[in-house]
Structure 1
Amino acid sequence: MATPVFNKLVIFGVGLIGGSFARALKHMGAVGTVVGMGRSPASMARALELGIIDEIGGDMAQAIHGADLVLVAAPVAQTGAILASIAPHLQPGTVVTDAGSTKSDVVEAARASLGDKIAQFVPGHPIAGRETNGPDAAIIDLYRGKKVVLTPLAENAASDVERVAAAWRTCGAIIHVLTPAEHDKVFAAVSHLPHLLAFALVDDIARKPHADLLFQYAASGFRDFTRIAGSSPEMWRDISLANQPALLQELDAYLAQLTALRASLAAGDGAAIENVYANAQQARQQWIEAIEAAEIPAPAASAQ
């Protein structure tokens, strides 16, 4: 048996994201002991039962003591409080990272919570997910061939950034680097806005007096468009508020697009409508081809 890369890993949040991270590292023999921390005793007990974690953490000092790596995989609004609870017990040599879908607010919270220990925090965001959550949703290969964006701080040691990157690469992920501001602007457009739209559409239909009839005839197109509305409302509330400026900018641009499309529809301007549809079809096809070329599943790393 190979010597684990990480003797002790502590995970705050043992659901889809944190649980899949632990599962992948355990599968590769890259971690010794995984300690789980969380608000829900039932979730913690389930994670222990499933073998995602080896211990349920209680006392913070004891949980953090001797940890090589700490992953905060909780809703972004909780990040500041979690980091503040970690800070007094954070020893030299322990690296902390997160899996939050926003980064500027997380960095601000980390600076406020960790103070002069900020160099030990390497912000990150795995670009992978499913509409299910909780420990039962965790899978070994969630990150295989998927991007993980790191947004390193000026204070971070290169070796600490590499430690975080190595953990994600062991899970099969492909590492990308952005600044926190770049990250938030990009994901407001391609992740946060789509979630807002999917939630809004399903909510709108659900509130109609004949909702039962509408849902009866909703088929695969509706299912595919609204799949992400099955995601955690709490998590996406936090993400929406955390990235409010960038999300508002993208939402305003989308509303302008809808207004223009509505005007074309009202005027019976088929050419204008078709032009929008054709441009979207071409752009989507190019995007799909680029993903298929760039995100070929990474081979499993050797556990030797």
Structure 2
Amino acid sequence: MAQPLINKFVVVGIGLIGGSLATGLKARGACAEVIGVARKAETCAEAIARGVVDRACTSLAEIAGELTKGDVIFIAVPTLSVTSVLEEVKSNISSDITITDGASVKGSVREAAQAVFGFVPEQFVLGHPIAGSEKSGVTAANPNLYERHRVILTPLESTARYHFNLVESMWQAVGAEVLSMSVEEHDEVLGATSHLPHVIAYSLVDTLAQDIKNPNIFRYAAGGFRDFTRIASSDPVMWHDIMRANKVAILQSMDLFINNLTRLRSSIENEDSESLLTVFSRAKEARDEFTRLLAARHSVSKED
């Protein structure tokens, strides 16, 4: 039998992101053992009962002494909670152990590491899986969540090649496509393509629920509303943290959107048909091209 890629895989935060990677690695025989770390003993017990992890504890310190080179710690907690995990890492974890994360904002994670260690350790590979669901918690763990999805790694000059290669191979083992980019580019791109849409979805649903006084507002909503607002069911704590951590990039994207929305409002008010058709046609063309790119990417993945 082939040697597993990872001996012990330690997931700190046993929710959708961490639990899905844990179950994905287990299902593919890519790790010998999965150890979960969660603040609540009840979460640990449920994760074991559901087979998401092999065993679990409430502190990294409890299992730190048994970790060796080739083991991986995956930090899968809300963005603003990463600092407290890194403090526990600094106190308990050897520099031989590979550490990575799944936070949606990389600049804040880099700053957290610098605040805790005084630098970003060479063993710490910053990363972000571009996959998710409106579901959350240990019950949402899905071993196939990362199949044909992209994972962005944002290595720094200090990142050791050994640790980077192990993290890259780990994600590839669960069917993900791994890309690399700078921390700054990641946060700018995700601010526009992921964080802004969540702002809009949350705001739209809140507006309809709180400000439009019509009891039938959701009863007669059609599939387009359902599809567009699905992400407003995402974990509020996680997205609260993301908004604070990536504030600059999100505000820049919001300002652009608000300016365009204001121009669109003016076109509607003034019955400017030419302007409306230009915007709608341009948007349809861009969306159709995005759909073609997705279809082509999935086609290549199937051939591979």
Fold shared per TM-score above 0.5: yes
Q: TM-score, normalised by structure 1?
A: 0.95
Deviation at 1:2, TM superposition (A): 2.8
1:70 is matched with 73
Q: 5 Å matches for 1:221-260? A: 221-260=224-263
8 Å contact from structure 1 (residues 144, 297) kept in 2: no
Q: Name the stretch that deviates more: 33-42 or 10-19.
A: 33-42
Matched, 1:118 2:121: yes
In 2, Cα distance between equivalents of 1:150 and 1:163: 12
Match runs of 1:169-208 below 5 Å: 169-208=172-211
User: What letter corresponds to residue 168 of structure 2 in structure 1?
Assistant: A
Equivalent residue of 1:119, what SS? coil
Q: What is the identity, as a one-letter code, of the residue corresponding to 1:188?
A: G
- Distance in 2 (alpha carbons) for counterparts of 1:59 and 1:195: 32
Tell whether the 8 Å contact from 1:16 to 1:134 is kept in structure 2 after alignment: yes
Distance 1:79 1:238 in 2: 11
> Once the two structures are superposed, what CA deviation does each residue of 1:153-200 show, in whole Å capped at 9, x if it has no partner?
111111110100000000100011011000000001000000000000
Q: Could you tell me how far apart the structure 2 residues matched to 1:229 and 1:8 are? A: 35
CA contact (8 A) 2:11 2:74 kept: yes
Counterparts of 2:40 and 2:199 in 1: how far apart (Å)?
27
How many residue pairs get aligned? The number is 301
Residues 172, 298 of structure 1: 8 Å contact kept: no
Does 2:88 align with 1:81?
no
Change (3 A) 1:297 1:126: farther
**AA partner of residue 25 (structure 1):** L
> Residue 254 of structure 1: CA displacement?
0.4
- Deviation of the 1:60 alpha carbon: 2.6
Instruction: Structure 1: state its 5+ residue gaps.
Output: none
Give the structure 2 partner of residue 263 of structure 1. Answer: 266
Q: Matches of 1:261 and 1:194 in 2, distance apart?
A: 18
Q: TM (normalized to structure 2)?
A: 0.95
SS at match of 1:259: helix
Q: Distance in 2 between matches of 1:208 and 1:296?
A: 44
Shift in Å, 1:15: 1.1
Structure 1 300/264 Cα, relative in aligned 2: closer, same or farther at 3 Å? closer
Q: Which position in structure 2 is the counterpart of 1:127? A: 130
Moved more, 3-12 or 70-79: 3-12
Which sits farther off after the overlay, 291-300 or 43-52? Answer: 291-300
Question: How big is the shift at 1:294?
Answer: 1.8
Report deviation, 1:63.
1.9
How much does 1:35 deviate? 1.1
Does the aligned pair in 2 maintain the 1:264–1:273 contact within 8 Å?
A: yes
Q: CA RMSD in A?
A: 1.7
Asked which structure has the greater RCO (Cα within 8 Å, sep 6+), the reply is: 1
Moved more, 285-294 or 205-214: 205-214
- 1:296 and 1:86 map into 2 onto residues whose CA distance is 41
Partner of 1:44: 44
Structure 2 letter corresponding to 1:151:
T
Deviates more, 1:203-212 or 1:250-259: 203-212
